[in-house]
């Protein structure tokens, strides 16, 4: 389905992503985890060719047999927002502030479909309702009139509106409170089950990984140090960095002994 082979992202100073390879099956949910600066967001951006001009990417990004990295910009655009869609961390930047949400959904449909005005409107409102937003109202709202959670849900509506085969979610919940974050992940999860969509999920939080993802890859300094099925990687981490990451997860239940992560010199009694 999606397979990345030997992806390198280069700035003029040094290599930020150092030749990584990834596989994502149809309907699979792959979490790409690691600390900030590890190159996971760059990996996500390079799939759609969304890197800034100063960065050079090389390597093969094969999507259902076509190499996305090799496509002309206009062919690549036909995928973006339709077959492959993105959600970003910063929901404030998901929509242009001086256009209504409806106008921007409409713009997306106009770009990718041949639907007429009424059909576009119906589809847009339906997409908003699917993420439990009051469709008509949000359709006519400016981004500043919505709360953070509402905005991120609208962003998901836009990402799902054309039934994409792949959703790339770049830390979609980092800026949200945990309850809203949970809701957002649930929507993605439901949509995935319904449409057999694949998800590439960029996160730094391993707590959520076990709950939603089926595969996980751990990135460190531009390289993938370990990848595999979630159970295998999280239960029996092979790499020392993965072990550290898992150890740093704060316990959710008081019954789990706090063996790791205690300051030095403090002993349990």
Query: Which residues are at the interface with other proteins (CB under 8 A)?
Result: 12-13, 48, 50, 73, 77-82, 85-86, 88, 90, 92-99, 104, 107-108, 111-112, 142, 144-145, 155, 158
Q: Which of 98, 103, 91, 112 is nearest to 139 (CA)?
A: 103
Beta strand 223-229 pairing with 215-220: antiparallel
Q: Which of 44, 40, 2, 41 is nearest to 23 (CA)?
A: 2
* CA distances from residue 59 to 124, 199, 212 in whole angstroms, order as listed: 36, 21, 29
> Between residues 77 and 204, which has the closer beta carbon with respect to other proteins?
77
Cβ distance 206 to 241 under 8 Å? no
Smallest gap from Cβ 253 to other proteins, in A, equals 37
> Between residues 1 and 50, which has the closer beta carbon with respect to other proteins?
50
DSSP bridge partners of 32: 202, 217
> Between residues 74 and 253, which has the closer beta carbon with respect to other proteins?
74
Distance in angstroms (rounded) separating the CA atoms of residues 233 and 30: 12
Smallest gap from Cβ 90 to other proteins, in A, equals 5
Angle between helices 101-112 and 148-160 (to 10 degrees): 10
Smallest gap from Cβ 256 to other proteins, in A, equals 38
Smallest gap from Cβ 170 to other proteins, in A, equals 10
Distance in angstroms (rounded) separating the CA atoms of residues 83 and 77: 10
Smallest gap from Cβ 223 to other proteins, in A, equals 21
> Between residues 158 and 198, which has the closer beta carbon with respect to other proteins?
158
Q: Which of 7, 17, 11 is nearest to 38 (CA)?
A: 17
The CB density around residue 194, as the number of other CB atoms within 10 Å, is: 11
Distance in angstroms (rounded) separating the CA atoms of residues 139 and 261: 47
> Between residues 109 and 209, which has the closer beta carbon with respect to other proteins?
109
* CA distances from residue 151 to 3, 96, 157, 183 in whole angstroms, order as listed: 31, 12, 10, 13
Cβ distance 191 to 166 under 8 Å? no
> Between residues 74 and 116, which has the closer beta carbon with respect to other proteins?
74
Smallest gap from Cβ 58 to other proteins, in A, equals 20
Smallest gap from Cβ 205 to other proteins, in A, equals 21
> Between residues 5 and 112, which has the closer beta carbon with respect to other proteins?
112
Smallest gap from Cβ 80 to other proteins, in A, equals 4
> Between residues 52 and 118, which has the closer beta carbon with respect to other proteins?
52
């Amino acid at each position: 389905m999606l397979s990345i082979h030997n992806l390198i992202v280069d700035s003029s100073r040094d290599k930020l992503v150092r030749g990584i390879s990834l596989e994502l099956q149809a309907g699979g949910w792959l979490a790409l985890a690691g600390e900030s600066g590890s190159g996971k967001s760059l990996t996500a951006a390079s799939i759609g060719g969304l890197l800034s001009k100063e960065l050079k990417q090389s390597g093969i990004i094969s999507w259902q047999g076509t190499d996305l990295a090799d496509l002309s910009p206009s062919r690549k655009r036909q995928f973006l927002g339709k077959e492959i869609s993105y959600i970003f961390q910063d929901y404030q930047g998901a929509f242009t502030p001086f256009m209504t949400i409806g106008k921007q959904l409409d713009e997306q449909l106009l770009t990718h479909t041949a639907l007429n005005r009424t059909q576009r409107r119906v589809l847009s409102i339906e997409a908003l309702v699917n993420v439990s937003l009051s469709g008509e109202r949000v359709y006519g709202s400016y981004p500043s009139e919505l709360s953070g959670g509402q905005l991120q849900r609208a962003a998901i509506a836009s990402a799902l509106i054309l039934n994409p085969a792949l959703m790339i979610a770049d830390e979609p919940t980092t800026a949200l409170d945990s309850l809203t974050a949970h809701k957002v992940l649930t929507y993605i999860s439901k949509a995935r089950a319904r449409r057999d969509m694949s998800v590439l999920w960029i996160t730094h939080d391993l707590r959520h990984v076990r709950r939603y993802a089926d595969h996980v890859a751990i990135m460190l300094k531009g390289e993938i140090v370990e990848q595999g099925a979630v159970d295998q990687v999280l239960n029996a981490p092979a790499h020392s960095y993965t072990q550290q990451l898992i150890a740093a997860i704060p316990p959710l239940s008081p019954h789990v002994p706090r063996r790791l992560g205690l300051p030095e010199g403090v002993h349990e009694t």
